[in-house]
Amino acid sequence: MTDTMFLEPEHALLRDQIRRFVTADIQPHADAWEEEGRVPRDVLRRMGALGFFGIRYPDRYGGAEMDTRATAIWAEELGRSTFSGVAITALVHTDMASVHLFNAGTDAQRDRWMPGIVSGEVITAVGVTEPGAGSDVKAIRTTARRKGNDRFVLNGSKVFITNGVLGDLYCIAARTDPEAPPAKGVTMFLVEKGTPGFTVARQLDKHGWRSSDTAELHFDDCEIPAANILGQEGGGFYAIMRNFQNERIVLGAMAVGEAQAALDLTLDHVKSRKAFGGVLWDKQAIRQRLAMLQARVTAARHLVYATAMRDAQGEDVVKEVSMIKALCGELVNEVMYDCLQFHGGSGYMTGTPIERMTRDARVQAIGGGATEVMLEEVAKRM
């Protein structure tokens, strides 16, 4: 369904490989993972062994050195799986957490951690959001104070952290200079699971994304080496802002995949569901509504891949990425609403794909930048 003008042959091969994995290794088993509230580690290691966790990373770490378009394919195909909890578990690891280490880490930090990240032996999470901060990175209250020349002590909490229970390595944002302007007083740190003073306070129970673990994290006099700083001290705000662009392309592509899968399921349903002397597809209102939704999903997909191609070429795409996040997050919810409607009562029953997908999609207008925040970013650049 993607316009090939945006892709190279290797992208098509990647799509086929991911789609085969989804069909064989995710879809037959993921209902059980929904019940368990987690994706098994052996599944994540298999993703790593197949090269999916290293799509964008250098060969020296076991990666494939592909570009932003490959990331979009990875996210779209995981979205099409219909199990978005599985999708977000993998995507946070590959494109929202580990990228902080790769982009800002020292050679020593990368050499230590990147091979395990790419292989799936080390799962990553990122801790930015706090109970009182939400999307406002400048409002971070977790603190990191120096202790001597070679230690920092972290205190505070993070919430809504994907892979919070599952993770091995956490990229944590903390305020290192309370007197500095908000944009200059935040630093990113690497914190390993098991560090004294760092606890996973509780696993959170979510409306959707049930197979993705989400946790609240606490830091109580948690001491870490100064060598665990990611990038420059005080440079965390800009590191977070930098990665938001990649994150939002990923979430947009994932939403497009979710929406397309819902349309495909619904098209099959309405063409076979007997009603009023024919099938639902015979009803003009249903046909035309699905046709319009397909047109809009196709347009959104083209925006995603055109922007991914420009990003791969080093262009400034902040405006377009913000558009993608706002547009796709709202569109996938609109698609799910109508697709569930056209499934009728069966679509409202727990255990049906469209019911699960509708719950999963709701957060797409919230997580990674709420629609309202994204529209303000677009408006600033108009």
The residues that are catalytic are: 247
For the record, the structure tokens of 164 come out as: 């919070």
CB 297 within 8 A of CB 370: no
Q: Which residues pair with residue 196 across a beta bridge?
A: none
Q: What is the Cβ-side half-sphere exposure of residue 205, based on CA atoms within 13 angstroms?
A: 1
Q: CB 200: neighbour CB atoms within 10 A?
A: 17
CB 152 within 8 A of CB 223: yes
- How big, in percent rounded to 5, are the helix, strand and coil portions of the chain? 60, 15, 25
Residue with the two structure tokens 């944009």: 183
CB 226 within 8 A of CB 150: yes
Residue with the two structure tokens 């997909």: 301
d(CA 110, CA 124): 13
Contacts of 202 by beta carbon, 8 Å cutoff, 6+ apart: 215, 216
The whole-angstrom distance between residue 103's C-alpha and the CA centroid of its chain comes to 17
Could you list the beta-strand ranges (E) of the chain: 124-127, 143-147, 151-162, 169-175, 186-192, 198-203, 214-225, 229-230, 274-275, 278-279
CA-based nearest residue to 213, from 168, 273, 253: 168
Let me know if 306 is exposed, middle or buried by CB neighbors in 10 A (0-12, 13-18, 19+): middle
d(CA 291, CA 2): 17
The whole-angstrom distance between residue 320's C-alpha and the CA centroid of its chain comes to 18
Q: Is 86 helix (H, G, I), strand (E, B) or coil?
A: helix
d(CA 4, CA 6): 5
